[in-house]
Amino acid sequence: MSSEKRSLFARATIAIPFLWLAVFFLLPFLIVFKISLSDDAVAQPPYVPALSFSEGWAALREKLALLDAENYAFVLSDWLYVYSYMQSLLLAGIATAILVLVGYPVAYAIVRSPRGLRPVLLLLVILPFFTSFLIRVYAWIGILSREGLLNQSLLSLGLVSQPLEILSTNIAVVIGMVYSYFPFMVLPLYAVLERMDDSLLEAAADLGATPAQAFWRVTVPVSVPGIVAGALLCFIPAVGEFVIPDLLGGSDTQMIGRTVWNEFAVNRSWSVSSALAILILLVLLVPILIYQRMQLRELESR
């Protein structure tokens, strides 16, 4: 379809979702950015300046001059906030690395399964994703708590003499992340492994490679796009995770998603929480752009 004779219908397919996302996704971020440059105030809304076009350009310009970056300076000079960012990146990174290690064999095994069984196995992996995220995280509280099922079985088997303290630690947070994001890792890996050309491995075998060599030197390199896609799909949302650190973490778990929420709901500082959110976006900008580029390339390649 050439762009000159694009029909009214085709134009509507572009305009309607574009407009929606501009109003409900792009515009909100501009507002967050603006508020991150504002100051808190005891008012409704609780920040100044509140921009409005009704007072004319001169008033608007005057108010724009009140915007400054002091929230950013405040956030970056406070060790607690910086620690919060570091911890989020670290825990999400550890969880993503574990996800690659446990997700890869599962995706590989599904591809190796009999053809008729593959959709069933895939459905088994996806199904928990459809059931509630909250419920899946909640299920781990009963397992990991001090009197929980894990400690009960370990104690009765005599493997430990004292209950393990897992709940309310960062270990529990990582377990929760690995569990919750598991399907996001398996699906992209499955997609690349399934598309892989079998003749590559035959060629490797003909050239004298052992199955293990063929795996490490052919299969793994071919699946790198899947690994990257899966890792990004898990890592980016995990950095800003709120529910998992809140339910499974302890008092020293100060992941940034929780900090944003506390700053907003408990401290009622909209401007600081906006600055924190913008800083998360800056940290995640590169991975998000890589992810989008991969999606777009996938779209063009077919």
Range 65-94, binding other proteins (CB under 8 A): none
Sequence-separated contacts (24+) of 140-143 with Cβ below 8 Å: 140/172, 140/175, 140/176, 140/179, 140/248, 141/167, 141/247, 141/248
Q: What residues numbered 266-285 form the site for other proteins, per CB under 8 A?
A: 270, 273-274, 277, 280-281, 284
**Contact status, residue 248 vs residue 179, Cβ threshold 8 Å:** no
Cα–Cα nearest to 218, from 231, 202, 230: 202
Q: What residues numbered 141-180 form the site for other proteins, per CB under 8 A?
A: 141-143, 145, 147-149, 152, 179
Residue 302 interacting with other proteins (CB under 8 A): yes
Tell the smallest beta-carbon distance from residue 244 to other proteins (Å). 11
Residue 98 interacting with other proteins (CB under 8 A): no
Report the residue from 85, 108, 181, 190 that binds other proteins according to the rule CB under 8 A. 108
Give the single-character DSSP code of 241: -
Q: In the complex with other proteins, which residue's Cβ is closer, 20 or 216?
A: 20
Q: Which stretch binds other proteins (CB under 8 A): 6-14, 67-75, 156-164, 220-228?
A: 6-14
Q: What angle do CA 154, 159, 161 make, to 5 degrees?
A: 90
Sketch the per residue contact string, 228 through 247, with other proteins: x for CB under 8 A, - otherwise: ----xx--xx-xxxxx---x
Q: How many angstroms separate the first and last alpha carbons of the chain?
A: 16
**Contact status, residue 256 vs residue 84, Cβ threshold 8 Å:** yes
Q: What residues numbered 31-70 form the site for other proteins, per CB under 8 A?
A: 31-32, 35, 45
